[in-house]
């Protein structure tokens, strides 16, 4: 079993739709959870950064962490064509400087 599982998609939605992206993980030591957005030929751009369980909202984006289920989600409301990208989940333990463990990424396409 891989440490982090993420459905690669592709996921295609119409403009304005609510998008749900998810990752599951197996290592209970993970405490910090991140979502990165990666456009073609660009590096990963940090979208959301959360600690432990709970929700965090930033504009149209909401990150949820359920440590009891080892499950994290990213919701995108009112999706836009500019949201078309690959979304990577990442996580690490409590020790600063430890490696980020990434999912493979989900490719999202939002059509106008």
Partner 1 sequence: SAVISQKPSRDICQRGTSLTIQCQVDSQVTMMFWYRQQPGQSLTLIATANQGSEATYESGFVIDKFPISRPNLTFSTLTVSNMSPEDSSIYLCSVVESRGDQPQHFGDGTRLSIL
Q: Which residues bind to partner 1, rule: CB under 8 A? A: 4, 8, 32, 34, 36, 41-46, 49, 51, 88, 90, 96-97, 99-105
Smaller CB separation from partner 1, 30 or 32: 32
Report the run of H or E that residue 49 belongs to, with start and end: strand 45-51
User: Of 85, 90, 89, 88, nearest to 108 (Cα)?
Assistant: 85
The rounded distance, in Å, linking the Cα atoms of 12 and 111 is 7
User: Taking the complex as a whole, how short is the minimal distance between the CB of residue 65 and partner 1, in angstroms?
Assistant: 14
Smaller CB separation from partner 1, 37 or 79: 37
């Amino acid at each position: 079993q891989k440490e982090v599982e993420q459905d690669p998609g592709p996921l295609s939605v119409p403009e304005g739709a609510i998008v749900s992206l998810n990752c599951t993980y197996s290592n209970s030591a993970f405490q910090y959870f991140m979502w990165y957005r990666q456009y073609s030929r660009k590096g990963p751009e940090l979208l959301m950064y959360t600690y432990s369980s709970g929700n965090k909202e930033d504009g149209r984006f909401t990150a949820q962490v359920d440590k009891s289920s080892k499950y994290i989600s990213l919701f995108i409301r009112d999706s836009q064509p500019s949201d078309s990208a690959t979304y990577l989940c990442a996580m690490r333990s409590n020790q600063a400087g430890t490696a980020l463990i990434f999912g493979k990424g989900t490719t999202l396409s939002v059509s106008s």
